[in-house]
Amino acid sequence: MRKSFFILAAAAVLVATFALGALVGYERGPEIRKIAGVLNGQAPAGQFEEVDFNPFWKTWRLVEEKYAAPDGIDRQKMVWGAIQGALKSLGDPYTVFFPPVEKKIFESEVRGDFEGVGMEIAVKKGVLTVVAPLKGTPALRAGIKPGDKILKIGDKESADMSAEEAVGLIRGPRGTTVKLLIFSQDTDAPREVSVVRDVIQIPIIDTELKDGGVFVIKLHNFSERSPFEFRMALREFILSGSNKMIIDLRNNPGGYLEAAVDIASWFLDTGEVVVREKFKSGQERLYRSKGYAPFKNLKLAVLVNQGSASASEILAGTLKDHGKAAIIGERTFGKGSVQELIPVTAETSVKITIARWLTPGGQSFSEVGLQPDVEIKNTKEDDEKGRDAVMEKALEIL
């Protein structure tokens, strides 16, 4: 009996030691092993710097174990939020993750079939900023201007909000109202603006023959149809018999790179560089003129302001660098980066910055924008009198 007792005691000690070791091993082991039901927990193959994910999984486990409202846990949303947080840490407002709802909003915006207030917005220096209100839209009628800061949307503050999140709050059914707290550069305090949403018809181009024979092409965006519409405008220009042209890119938030290259090709010789695309590796891709260039002895001015972004900056920058036009107005917005939209799952995608745009002369306009040759802006008094001082200066120069 004594022998049996010692054997049982020894066995109990071994079991206890094993259990204690297992518990210690569990506590010291990777946090991911402590969470049930983790799919695809392994990192993808490839060359990655070693990163300790234990803090992430420990936080996840603590939420699972201690969060006071377990019915409020949506684990898939936690995954989407984690991805969004990781991309936000890059400090690049154009690199964003689209969960299912945001992906649908983005796709409808690209197609151009949406209801909202009609303005392009972006995060600039950490602040939600109006790039440009579109022609004939509720935003423009409400007095919203390029460079305005959006501090609140409804009762939600915009601090730390992505442009895509803001779009989701601002857009909505036709006839409904959204309240925006706006801070403008020419005011001392923010003001609340109520904007009634509508179906947004994105305009492309307007033309006008000014006194003195100056032909004005107002280009509102660089859409798929913009090259065709621009060609029709050039036909009007030729029939007018003028040799003086103004391309007005004010409040043009950009669009397709291909459209900017095609339009620039009317003013450049074959093979001349329109824009440079510089990648992470340092390699560059050059986009060159198709060399339509039918105009000789053309006097050309390009108008820009804070609402001129992306493809507008490409067109203005190439005409400036090649000495084809005088650039008149304000410093441009500074959206000089290239994004690629990549599917992540069937219902989600990521838009990631893959390159920077440079002018033909190698100047980056990302963040800083383009400096015009002649800097001038419409004052508040000009606006009240219905006077366009920038257009007047361009007409004077031509």
Give the Cα-Cα-Cα angle 150, 154, 159 (nearest 5 degrees): 45
Catalytic-labelled residue, pool 145, 218, 335, 393: 335
Buried-exposed string 75-85: b where 16+ CB fall within 10 A, e elsewhere: eeeeebeebbe
Catalytic-labelled residue, pool 310, 312, 337, 349: 310
> In 185-336, which ranges are E strands?
191-196, 198-199, 205-209, 214-219, 244-248, 273-279, 284-288, 299-304, 326-329
Catalytic-labelled residue, pool 162, 312, 321, 337: 321
Q: Rg for the chain (alpha carbons), in Å?
A: 28
Q: Do 305 and 377 touch, CB atoms closer than 8 A?
A: yes
d(CA 288, CA 265): 8
Residue 105 CB contacts under 8 Å (≥ 6 apart), including other chains: 114, 164, 167, 168, 171
351 catalytic residue (yes or no) = no
310 catalytic residue (yes or no) = yes
Q: Do 166 and 121 touch, CB atoms closer than 8 A?
A: yes
Q: Positive or negative CA dihedral for 29, 31, 34, 39?
A: negative
Q: Give the Å distances, CA to CA, from 367 to 16, 94, 121, 290.
A: 63, 12, 14, 29
Q: With H, G, I as helix, E, B as strand and everything else as coil, classify residue 176.
A: coil
269 catalytic residue (yes or no) = no
Q: Which residues are catalytic?
A: 310, 321, 335
